[in-house]
Chain A
Amino acid sequence: MAVGDEPAHFRQMIDSIVDYEVIRLDEKGVISSWHPGAQLLTQYTAEEAIGKPVTLFYTEEDIVEGKADAELRAAAETGRYGTEGWRVRKDGSQFWASVVLTPIREPGGTVTGFVKVTADLTEQREQTLALRAGQQMLDGIADYEVIRLDSDGVVRSWNPGAVKLTGYVADEVVGRHVSMFYTEEDKRGAMAEREMASAARDGSLEVEGWRIRKDGTRFWANVVLSPILDDQGEVTGFVKVARDLTERREQEQLVQRQRDEILELSTPVIQVWDKVLILPLIGTLDSVRAARLTESLLERIAADQAEVVILDVSGVPAIDSGVARHLLKTVEAARLMGTASILSGIRPEIAQSMVHLGIELGGLRSCTSLKDALQLALRLVRAGADAADLAGRHA
Chain B
Amino acid sequence: MVATVVVISGESDLLDVRSALRTAAERAGLRLTATTKLVTAGSELARNILRYATGGQGTVTIEECTTRAGRGVRAVFVDQGPGIADLDEVMRDGFSSGGSLGIGLPGSRRLVDEFTIDSMPGRGTTVVISQWDR
Contact = CB atoms under 8 A, between A and B. Distances in A.
Interface of A: 189-191, 193-195, 197-198, 206-209, 222, 295
B33 A295 contact: yes
Contacts of B33: 295
Interface string B41-85: 000000000000000000000010111100000000000000000
Contacts of A189: 27
Contacts of B67: 206-208
Contact of A207 (B27, B31, B66): B66
Contact of A193 (B2, B63, B68): B2
Interface residues of B, number: 10
The prevalent SS among residues of B at the interface is mixed
Interface of B: 1-2, 27, 31, 33, 63, 65-68
A195 B67 CA distance: 12
B1, B2, B27, B67 pick with most chain A CB within 10 angstroms: B1
Given A198-B2, A207-B66, 11 more contacts: A189-B27, A190-B2, A194-B2, A195-B1, A198-B63, A206-B67, A207-B65, A207-B67, A208-B66, A222-B68, A295-B31
The 9 residue pairs across chains A and B that have the minimum distance between CB atoms: A194-B1, A194-B2, A207-B66, A198-B1, A208-B66, A197-B2, A209-B66, A295-B33, A195-B1
21 contacts: A189-B27, A190-B2, A193-B2, A194-B1, A194-B2, A195-B1, A197-B2, A198-B1, A198-B2, A198-B63, A206-B67, A206-B68, A207-B65, A207-B67, A208-B66, A208-B67, A208-B68, A209-B66, A222-B68, A295-B31, A295-B33
Nearest to B2: A194
